[in-house]
Structure 1
């Protein structure tokens, strides 16, 4: 007979559960980069989470301005926001701003393979684009984040905290 005490069930704080849900349910993000003059440039990018490296993955074309900007200056910011609901206040929309460092992943490496797998698991229709020579996978290592879960529900997350959210339970 096993007399060891039962392990209590894992309790995840509400804001962390909501953050996981936000990142799982929203597939597009706003990507902020800096142009060659240091001026901000914001664009939309589909994103996936690569859990082993606890990073975000984007698939970008060399023709897109943001690709050149992030290759010259890898400091980026990404915002993921819940979609607006008609009749509800937009000021309380759940969202997260993630600051990080972008790295173009070299084709064929294990990091590239993991990023490709994570991205195609989320966007299987994008598989033909992965064959195009002007597209690259970029990993974004998050260094800090700011979550707003609604009125009076906001917090800052350090890199280790956001990494734990990006990894599976």
Structure 2
């Protein structure tokens, strides 16, 4: 069994236990726009296609922005713990490309299933005409696991962290 670093295990735990990200998009005028998005992780298609999926309304500013410019950034972080220094909060900033999924396609079905497994209460919204599933394909990331524990990751390393833990490393 190949060795997996402690930072990769920590990143996997962060991504799989948190459910909300701050997503940055860019407006037509070039302004940064940040919004909150619930996300799920999809590895059902195949590990090489692992992605995060969000479910967004076409009426939202961030959706219009990502439809015009696919480059997005997602920040996922652990919540603040009273008495602990906030500067050491574990976090990751993912750089990625957003892909609006074609309703009914295999990718759409896999993303819908993963999203509803994590957010079953969102099922009624999946039938609304202005909502869509968007796959965010990570192209790289910057992980901060605490003071003195930071690294940059490429897309392959991010995909490893999105996948379930290897057998025996739960």
What TM-score, normalized to structure 2? 0.92
Choose the corresponding residue for 2:161, options 148, 158, 165.
165
Shift of 1:22: 0.4
- Describe the SS at the equivalent of 2:161: helix
CA RMSD of superposed structures (Å): 1.0
Cα distance between partner residues in 1 of 2:64 and 2:91:
26
Give the match for residue 45 of structure 1: 37
1:79 paired residue number: 75
Pick the aligned partner of 2:9 from 8, 17, 22.
17
SS at match of 2:28: coil
CA positional deviation for 1:11: 3.6
Partner of residue 4, structure 1: none
Decide which of 96, 99, 105 is 2:101's aligned counterpart.
105
Distance (whole Å) between structure 2 residues aligned to residue 153 and residue 164 of structure 1: 19
Moved over 4 A (4+): none
- Report the equivalent of 1:35: 27
Larger radius of gyration, structure 1 or 2?
1
Query: 1:28 Cα deviation (Å)?
Result: 0.3
How many aligned residue pairs are there?
161
In 2, distance between residues paired with 1:141 and 1:26? 18
SS of 2:82's equivalent in the other structure is coil
TM-score (ref. length: structure 1)? 0.92
